[in-house]
Structure 1
């Protein structure tokens, strides 16, 4: 049996960004103004073009007040699921590489599970986005700054915080391999419902 090729991050973002913007009643111009992302860039993203980065996707999540997976949803399914890291497209940022492994819906909440690598070439800053961010370090040492407070964590350590606060990850011993879990409440999902996605 040949499996269908999974849609790309660009394809998923194009479909879901249009749906989220429409549901929020925002024009491209207004979304551009609120997010600081150029109108031409947004138009390109909605057409399935461009090269979306972590910064772009997290900014859109913050402005639209939706879960990251509401923009990048792939809907992994089944009770027995295997996701090969090598088969997952990397969403790259200034200092972090993310691979979305799974979206988990439990009751009214949503959880997103990521393989996260914090590189040593730059700090990864976020203005904040919806959800609670949970990180478990596997290898390396990580500095986490949240709203002016700083902590260093190493292998086996865990840190969690309100992701709406400005935050920054910096690899002190690079690369830092970690598990990132984003947790969302029902009111942080677009209309509390699934969004239209490609291929089903």
Structure 2
């Protein structure tokens, strides 16, 4: 679940990005497959979006997730304490954004990712590439039709545009997720 501050940031970002793209609320609802009333609540900062909602908006607006959920800062030193992180929760996955980095023609988002046992997180796809490093547990991850099984220390990278999944094998999984996008405005 997203806390009040994160919901306010998300709402402001969705409204600004929607207006920059010249989209009506109805058109964004159609593109994202999210009810117009739900979008109106999100834009006013009153919503409690799931990870699926945020990724659907990312896809519909053609922007990285970080463009939706974070205020941009660029300090010389950045310390992130896990106790202060907002959680984007989905059916099986919890994401805690650690950092957004704009590097040349790329945007990178770094997440602490936790996958609950006995659940499967499915994504219909979104812009960019996903890089995953498992730190504990065993994770089945990758393209929905041919996922890979990763243990601690294993790494995978795959295009995120196609349907993909995250699923535990046994107990909970802790991992690091790095989302890589072309620079904002050139995400396809």
Q: TM-score range by the shorter chain?
A: over 0.9
Q: Tell me, which stretches of 5 or more residues in structure 1 are unaligned?
A: 1-5, 193-200
Partners of 2:159 and 2:5 lie apart in 1 by 29
C-alpha deviations, 1:88-115, integer Å up to 9, x for none? Answer: 0111000000000001111121110000
Distance 2:179 2:147 in 1: 20
Aligned length: 185
Q: Whole-Å Cα distance in 2 between the matches of residues 77 and 135 of structure 1?
A: 24
Correspondence for 2:72? 75
Aligned with residue 28 of structure 2, among 26, 31, 35:
31
Alignment of 1:39-58 (within 5 A): 39-58=36-55
Give the counterpart of 1:168 among 161, 165, 168.
165
**Is the 2:51–2:90 Cα contact (8 Å) retained in structure 1?**
yes
* Aligned residues of 1:96 and 1:119 also touching (Cα < 8 A): yes
The unaligned stretches of length 5 or more in structure 2 are none
Per the TM alignment, residue 145 of structure 1 is displaced from its structure 2 partner at its CA by 3.7
Measured in 2, the distance between the counterparts of 1:174 and 1:30 equals 41
Change (3 A) 1:80 1:42: same
Let me know the Cα RMSD of the aligned residues. Answer: 1.7
Q: Once the two structures are superposed, what CA deviation does each residue of 1:100-158 show, in whole Å capped at 9, x if it has no partner?
A: 00011111211100000011142111111111110000000001141511211110000
**Off by >6 Å, runs of 4+ in structure 1:** none
Deviation at 1:62, TM superposition (A): 0.8
1:179 paired residue number? 176
Does structure 1 residue 130 correspond to structure 2 residue 133? no
Q: Is the 8 A contact 1:130 1:164 kept in 2?
A: yes
1:1-200 alignment, distance < 5 Å: 8-186=5-183, 189-190=184-185
Q: 1:178 to 1:142 in 2, by over 3 A?
A: same
TM-score (norm. length: structure 2): 0.93
TM superposition shift of 1:76 = 3.9
Pairwise CA distance, 1:74? 2.7
Q: Distance in 2 between matches of 1:178 and 1:92?
A: 15
Counterpart-to-counterpart distance in 2, 1:7 and 1:79: 27
SS at match of 2:47: coil
1:149 is paired with a residue whose SS is: coil
